[in-house]
């Protein structure tokens, strides 16, 4: 398979453009037809088979421009650009002497070429910032140079941007430059690419040529040093492009993966927006996984009237069998959340989880408390989910935590609505400030409901210590889980959806 195309598709996937195996094969056929010669034609052709939505097309355009920016295969010098660089200040001279992303260092100055001596004098007056230079270079003037012996030296002196680009890309593949994830790794990968291209042999050759008695040899050493420094800039640009193509997204994925596992109570407020994005992504994944018709087909129980009706066109011959089916009712979900103190962060994202699954999630009735319990379902119906959660945390997080009073309020207002299709989810640390636990009410809820799930954000080692009533509540819960991260919440909600589907 074409490595360039597969790397490009990998970059698109990192940019969250969804590309299936079939679409990859379509892209291969497209490239086989149009080739790489016409860049714009290739871009428009691939845009017909890879991106699908408007957002993906925008990401595709940006990714294509970045990925193929260094593939200048014309092999021609831009004389206008060169003349512009020659007129620039001293700080731009090194970059002006070369053209192209491949780092071909421009053309080799031949004897008699105008402005060559002028540039030598300017570089002589510049401060010495090159780690490889120990003293100012002597002015050897223009003239003949010997032939380079190292492989990289020969490549630099050949003035072939195409070959240099290919060698740079090969070295990048060898050192896995696409694995770059953070900004501070750019220097590391630049050095690795240079080493893979043969920097050590080139440095040794430059050192040897410096001490040679022959002026053409020393002149070659100076030219190789200049081209090496320009190549270093080109390699840095190449690595930076790989960083922009891969690291921003992969770095975000890395942060997302960490935030999935970290305790929500330890998450800084500035990361809440990213966590909300993660919650929505998880919800979309769960929705896609569970958005199927919730029916149980009873094979063996033939629906005779329906079978006869659908086979009338066959003159009574039975070709299509139809079976009796029983539709499974969507169960009710009651979410009771402690929103006091640090527990509020867990409640915030659990409610966000539940209400983001409105397509496949059964009807959710939400309750919040720190002492007195209040139903907040209407808040979510009247407000955007984020605004509703903020109001719940703001209005109900005050007061001393009292699980006993919350259970009394629940029994008073809605215990009669609990039946054998009801799942009750309670999120809280069960720390009751040494008050009455009212475990007998939880027992009634346990007997009436289909399931009682208690999610405790504290570590299991902390359960049943101090004022925790977890031992009493655990006895009347069908499922008790430690739940203090998004990964835990995703697992619990995923299991809930599985049970709702059966």
DSSP letters, 282-309, are: HHHHHHHHH-S--EEEEEEEE-HHHHHH
DSSP letters, 247-292, are: IHHHHHHHHHHHHHHS-GGGS-GGGHHHHHHHHHHHHHHHHHHH-S
pLDDT, mean over the chain? 75
C-beta of residue 253 within 8 angstroms of C-beta of residue 260: no
What does the domain layout of the chain look like in residue ranges?
A: 3-67, 295-329, 332-501
Taking only the tens place, the pLDDT of each residue in 393-439 is 888 877 788 999 999 999 998 899 998 888 898 988 999 888 899 99
Q: For domain 332-501, which architecture applies?
A: 3-Layer(aba) Sandwich (3.40)
Distances, alpha carbon 338 to alpha carbons 165, 245, 360, in Å:
60, 43, 25
What percent of the chain lies above the pLDDT cut of 90?
9
DSSP letters, 370-416, are: SSSEEE-HHHHHHS-HHHHHHHHHHHHS-S---HHHHHHHHHHHHGG
Residue 100 has pLDDT above 50, yes or no: no
Residues in a beta bridge with 367: 336, 375
Give the model's pLDDT for residue 107. 38
Average pLDDT, integer, range 100-121: 38
C-beta of residue 157 within 8 angstroms of C-beta of residue 108: yes
C-beta of residue 323 within 8 angstroms of C-beta of residue 302: yes
Which residue from 404, 382, 399 is spatially nearest to 391, judged by alpha carbons?
A: 382
> Confidence band (pLDDT; 50, 70, 90) for 269?
low
Give the model's pLDDT for residue 297. 43
Q: Which span out of 106-120, 255-269, 315-329, 425-439 was modeled with the highest average pLDDT? A: 425-439
Taking only the tens place, the pLDDT of each residue in 40-54 is 898 899 889 888 888
Which residue from 333, 452, 335 is spatially nearest to 388, judged by alpha carbons?
A: 335
Which residue from 70, 55, 71 is spatially nearest to 12, judged by alpha carbons?
A: 55
Residue 277 has pLDDT above 70, yes or no: yes
> Confidence band (pLDDT; 50, 70, 90) for 39?
confident
What is the end-to-end Cα distance of the chain in Å, rounded? 43
Give the model's pLDDT for residue 6. 81
Residue 319 has pLDDT above 60, yes or no: yes
Taking only the tens place, the pLDDT of each residue in 209-238 is 888 888 888 888 888 888 888 888 888 888
Taking only the tens place, the pLDDT of each residue in 129-162 is 444 445 566 777 777 888 888 888 888 888 887 7
Distances, alpha carbon 42 to alpha carbons 37, 47, 66, 76, 314, in Å:
8, 8, 14, 21, 53
Average pLDDT, integer, range 158-167: 82
> Confidence band (pLDDT; 50, 70, 90) for 474?
very high
C-beta of residue 177 within 8 angstroms of C-beta of residue 197: no
Output the six-digit token pair for 16.
Answer: 């969250």
Residues in a beta bridge with 453: 425, 479
Report the C-alpha gap between 140 and 455 in whole angstroms.
79
Taking only the tens place, the pLDDT of each residue in 54-94 is 878 888 888 888 777 654 433 334 444 344 444 443 333 33
Residues in a beta bridge with 426: 336, 454
Residues in a beta bridge with 325: 297
Residue 362 has pLDDT above 70, yes or no: no
Instruction: Report residue 422: phi and psi, to 5°.
Output: -100, 135
Q: What is the pTM of this model?
A: 0.50
């Amino acid at each position: 398979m074409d490595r360039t195309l597969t790397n490009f598709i990998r970059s698109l996937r990192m940019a969250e453009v969804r590309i299936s195996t079939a679409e990859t094969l379509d892209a291969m056929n497209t490239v086989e037809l149009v080739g790489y010669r016409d860049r714009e034609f290739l871009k428009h052709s691939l845009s017909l088979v890879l991106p699908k939505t408007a957002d993906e097309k925008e990401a595709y355009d940006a990714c294509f421009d970045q990925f193929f920016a260094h593939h200048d295969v014309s092999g021609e010098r831009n004389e206008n650009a060169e003349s512009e660089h020659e007129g620039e200040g001293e700080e731009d001279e090194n970059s002006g002497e070369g053209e192209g992303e491949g780092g071909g260092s421009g053309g080799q100055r031949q004897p008699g070429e105008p402005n060559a001596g002028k540039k030598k004098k300017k570089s002589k007056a510049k401060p010495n910032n090159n780690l490889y230079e120990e003293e100012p270079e002597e002015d050897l003037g223009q003239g003949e140079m010997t032939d380079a012996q190292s492989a990289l030296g020969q490549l630099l002196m050949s003035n072939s941007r195409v070959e240099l680009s290919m060698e740079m890309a090969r070295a990048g593949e060898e050192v896995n430059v696409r694995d770059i994830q953070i900004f501070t790794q750019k220097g590391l990968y630049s050095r690795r690419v240079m080493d893979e291209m043969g920097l050590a042999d080139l440095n040794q050759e430059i050192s040897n040529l410096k001490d040679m008695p022959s002026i053409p040899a020393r002149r070659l050493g100076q030219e190789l040093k200049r081209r090496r420094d320009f190549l270093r800039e080109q390699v840095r640009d190449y690595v930076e492009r790989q960083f922009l193509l891969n690291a921003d997204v992969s770095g975000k994925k890395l942060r997302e993966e960490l935030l999935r596992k970290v305790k929500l109570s330890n998450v800084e407020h500035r990361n809440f927006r990213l966590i909300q994005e993660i919650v929505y992504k998880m919800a979309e994944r769960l929705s896609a996984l569970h958005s199927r018709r919730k029916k149980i087909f009873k094979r063996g129980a033939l629906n005779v009237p329906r079978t006869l009706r659908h086979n009338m066109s066959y003159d009574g011959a039975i070709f299509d069998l139809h079976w009796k089916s029983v539709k499974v009712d969507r169960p009710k979900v009651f979410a009771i959340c402690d929103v006091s103190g640090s527990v509020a962060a867990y409640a915030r994202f659990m409610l966000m989880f539940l209400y983001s699954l409105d397509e496949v999630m059964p009807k959710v009735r939400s309750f919040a408390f720190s002492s007195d319990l209040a139903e907040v379902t209407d808040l979510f119906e009247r407000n955007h989910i984020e605004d509703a959660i903020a109001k719940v945390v703001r209005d109900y997080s005050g007061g001393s935590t009292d699980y006993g009073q919350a259970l009394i309020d629940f029994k008073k207002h809605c215990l009669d609505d609990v039946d054998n299709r009801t799942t009750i989810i309670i999120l809280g640390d069960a720390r009751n400030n040494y008050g009455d636990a009212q475990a007998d009410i939880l027992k009634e809820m346990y007997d009436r409901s289909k399931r009682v799930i208690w999610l405790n954000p504290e570590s299991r080692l902390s359960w049943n210590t101090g004022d925790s009533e977890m031992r009493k509540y655990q006895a009347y819960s069908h499922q008790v889980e430690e739940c203090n991260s998004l990964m835990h919440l995703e697992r619990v909600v995923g299991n809930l959806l599985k049970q709702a589907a059966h």
